Amino acid sequence: MASTDTGVTGPTRAAIEARTLRTDRWWVSPLLTFVVFSAFVVYATIRAFMGRDYYASPYLSPFYSPCLGDCVEGASDFGQPFRAFPLSAALLILIFPLGFRMTCYYYRKAYYRAFWLSPPACAVAEPHQAYSGETRLPLILQNVHRYFWYAAVLVGLVLTFDTVLAFRNAEHEWGHMGLGTLLMLVNITFIWLYTLSCHSCRHTVGGRLRHFSKHPVRYRLWTWVSRLNVNHGRYAWYSLFSVALVDLYVWLLATGTITDVRFF
């Protein structure tokens, strides 16, 4: 790789052969990202195309929420406008959270590094000969991130609704709670932390202003979002795990592999 004569081994640069002289284990982080993201993508793809075992009353898997296709009974709280859709109902709505995460400023950093090696780590030469960043199609589409954020807010509201519904028992009587409820609570917390710490959110609530002093409320909001934004990457990971975990739990319940632990 990296025999690029336009990069660090180029003619004007200090003559050093190595792509990097870093002595630390710089490859651990991109490798870990690669493995975990790949695993998630494989798992999510399988589950999204399965089209079954996504509902175990009262729990609905977040991959299938809102369930707008030809869904099992009890799963569709918002009707079934796409009843005719022949494939898995997950495919109707997954595009929104997927698009939100694909265009997310944190995920971009993570997958450009781990999958595209552009660059694999700081001061480690990348293998590509040419580079145009996000100036052309398709990557120029990253600029639509804020639209996916608008959608992600809606998805967040729906998942919040699902979590409220999880305070029922299998017979839809209110005032109950099980391990699934707890997992969904944890999940929705991370989902909101991730959604509200988004850079586009930070921009929209106040970052775009030039005079904070003239917009005290938006300035206050901006300082809150800024505080969350520092941990955006962390919330991205936590919410990725939590969403997969809730889905896995529902799957195991739906297939009867385990039974729900009821608290009350």
Partner 1 sequence: MSGYLLKLRIWRGDKDGGEIKDYPVEVSEGEVVLDAIHRVQGTQAGDLAVRWNCKAGKCGSCSAEVNGRPRLMCMCRLSDFEEDEVITVTPMRSFPVIRDLVTDVSFNYEKAKELPAFAPPERDADGKRRMAQIDVERGQEFRKCIECFLCQNTCHVVRDHEDNKPAFAGPRFFLRYAELDMHPLDTHDRRELAQGAAGLGMCNITKCCTEVCPEGIKITDNAIIPLKERVVDRKYDPLVWLGNKIGLRNKDYDGRTDS
Binding site for partner 1 (CB under 8 A): 4, 6-8, 10, 12-16, 18, 20-24, 105, 108-109, 112-113, 118-119, 122-123, 125-126, 128, 130-135, 139-140, 143-146, 199-200, 202-203, 207-213, 219, 229-230
Residue type, 136: R
Q: Is 135 exposed, middle or buried (0-12, 13-18, 19+ CB in 10 A)?
A: exposed
CA distance 175 to 188: 19
CA distance 37 to 157: 25
Nearest distance, CB of residue 156 and partner 1, angstroms: 20
Nearest distance, CB of residue 145 and partner 1, angstroms: 8
CA distance 59 to 134: 40
CA distance 102 to 36: 15
Measured from the CB atom, the residue of 47 and 145 that comes closer to partner 1 is: 145
Measured from the CB atom, the residue of 5 and 173 that comes closer to partner 1 is: 5
Q: Which DSSP string corresponds to 151-184? A: HHHHHHHHHHHHHHHTTB-TT--BS--BHHHHHH
Measured from the CB atom, the residue of 158 and 209 that comes closer to partner 1 is: 209
Nearest distance, CB of residue 9 and partner 1, angstroms: 9
CA distance 243 to 225: 22
Nearest distance, CB of residue 213 and partner 1, angstroms: 4
Structure-block tokens of residue 140: 């120029």
Nearest distance, CB of residue 132 and partner 1, angstroms: 7
Sequence-ordered list of residues with C-beta below 8 angstroms from that of 15, at least 6 positions apart, any chain: none
Measured from the CB atom, the residue of 18 and 164 that comes closer to partner 1 is: 18
Measured from the CB atom, the residue of 59 and 149 that comes closer to partner 1 is: 149
Helical (H) or strand (E) element with 13: none
**DSSP tag of 56:** E
Cβ-contact 34, 40 below 8 angstroms:
no
Measured from the CB atom, the residue of 117 and 165 that comes closer to partner 1 is: 117
Nearest distance, CB of residue 190 and partner 1, angstroms: 20
Measured from the CB atom, the residue of 46 and 137 that comes closer to partner 1 is: 137
Nearest distance, CB of residue 89 and partner 1, angstroms: 29
CA distance 100 to 151: 8
